[in-house]
């Protein structure tokens, strides 16, 4: 098994008196989909925001490719090659697919003028490399896309920049059956291309289907990190709701006290 590309060790984070993350050890491996699961308020978003550089951390360290790094702001995360696709996707409806994918990082001639042709070609190449077949033109306005297509564009935007790790927050939450299928296929393909993918999801079917390993957060602690093939939906649900399942998970004392 390869070394993790991104790792947190003993991460702690408090908001005032509320201790949100307790000694969180979390790892992302290249070429694998790691599902991050947990009930509402378990600390998933806080963990992601710490890695994104939106929240600072109180103690612990973040390692990237084995090296300790400090991620002080979102740009630092982007520079490392960590991209985030948030639930609200953050696409501008009035721009087309290419324009959205390059937003804020436009290719230019003479620093001021856009080279639209070059961007269009790269957008098309990126979508093609992800075997996306649901989008007919990269010159379509995002306003005219379906939910699944929008999710696809948001993910493609994240991988356009030689990114190494992509965090996906509930990518299938608002999608129908067929579109969920497309997005899950895409998630799998990202990992097959060697990216480290983190899938944040409440949907156990999605998790069991596409993830290689599952990290369950329970009240700010990592209850367990298990391989998908060694586990079952029931076990994960127990880890999420009770913090332990059989002989894995948090010690009974910790689980009940929290």
Which of 65, 87, 107, 241 forms a contact with other proteins (CB under 8 A)? 107
Which of 2, 59, 70, 94 forms a contact with other proteins (CB under 8 A)? 94
**String marking each residue 140-169 x if it binds other proteins according to CB under 8 A:** ----x--------------xxxxx------
Q: Count interface residues toward other proteins (CB under 8 A).
A: 52
Q: How buried is 173 (Cβ within 10 angstroms: 0-12 exposed, 13-18 middle, 19+ buried)?
A: middle
DSSP bridge pairs for 197:
33, 166
Closest distance between other proteins and the C-beta of residue 185, in Å? 14
154 backbone dihedrals φ, ψ, rounded to 5°? -60, -40
Which of 16, 17, 66, 104 forms a contact with other proteins (CB under 8 A)? 104
Q: In this complex, which beta carbon is closest to other proteins, that of residue 17 or of residue 104?
A: 104
Q: What is the dihedral of CA 2, 231, 224, 26, to 10 degrees?
A: 30
Euclidean distance between the first and final Cα of the chain, in Å?
34
Which of 128, 178, 252, 258 forms a contact with other proteins (CB under 8 A)? 128
Tell me if 121 contacts other proteins by CB under 8 A. yes
Q: 6-15 and 18-28: which strand pairing?
A: antiparallel
Residue 118's CB: how many other CB atoms inside 10 A?
15
User: Using CB under 8 A, which residues numbered 197 to 256 contact other proteins?
Assistant: none
| Enclosing H/E stretch for 44 | helix 44-52
Q: Candidates 29-37, 59-67, 87-95, 202-210 — which segment interacts with other proteins by CB under 8 A?
A: 87-95
For residues 69 and 77, what is the distance between their CA atoms, to the nearest angstrom?
10
Q: In this complex, which beta carbon is closest to other proteins, that of residue 139 or of residue 227?
A: 139
For residues 122 and 142, what is the distance between their CA atoms, to the nearest angstrom?
17
Residue 79's CB: how many other CB atoms inside 10 A?
13
Q: In this complex, which beta carbon is closest to other proteins, that of residue 90 or of residue 252?
A: 90
User: Using CB under 8 A, which residues numbered 42 to 61 contact other proteins?
Assistant: none
Closest distance between other proteins and the C-beta of residue 190, in Å? 8
């Amino acid at each position: 098994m390869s070394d993790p590309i991104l790792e947190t060790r003993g991460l702690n984070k408090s908001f005032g008196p509320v201790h949100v993350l307790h000694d969180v050890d979390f790892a992302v491996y290249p070429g694998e989909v790691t599902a991050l699961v947990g009930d509402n308020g378990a600390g998933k978003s806080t963990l992601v925001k710490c890695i994104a550089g939106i929240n600072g951390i109180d103690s612990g360290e973040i390692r990237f490719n084995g090296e300790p790094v400090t991620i002080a702001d979102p740009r630092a995360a982007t520079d490392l090659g960590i991209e985030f696709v948030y639930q609200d996707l953050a696409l501008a409806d009035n721009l087309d697919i290419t324009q959205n994918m390059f937003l804020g990082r436009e290719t230019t001639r003479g620093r001021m003028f856009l080279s639209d042709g070059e961007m269009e070609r790269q957008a098309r190449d990126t979508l093609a490399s992800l075997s996306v077949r649901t989008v007919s033109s990269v010159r379509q306005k995002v306003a005219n896309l379906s939910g699944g297509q929008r999710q696809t564009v948001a993910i493609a935007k994240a991988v356009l920049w030689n990114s190494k790790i992509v965090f996906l927050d509930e990518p299938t939450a608002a999608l129908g059956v067929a579109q969920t299928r497309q997005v899950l296929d895409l998630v799998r393909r990202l990992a097959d291309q060697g990216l480290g993918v983190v899938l944040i999801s409440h949907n156990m079917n999605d998790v069991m289907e596409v993830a290689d390993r599952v990290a369950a957060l329970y009240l700010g602690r990592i209850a367990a990190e298990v391989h998908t093939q060694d586990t079952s939906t029931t076990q994960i649900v127990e880890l999420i709701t009770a913090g332990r399942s059989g002989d894995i998970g948090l010690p009974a004392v910790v689980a009940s006290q929290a």
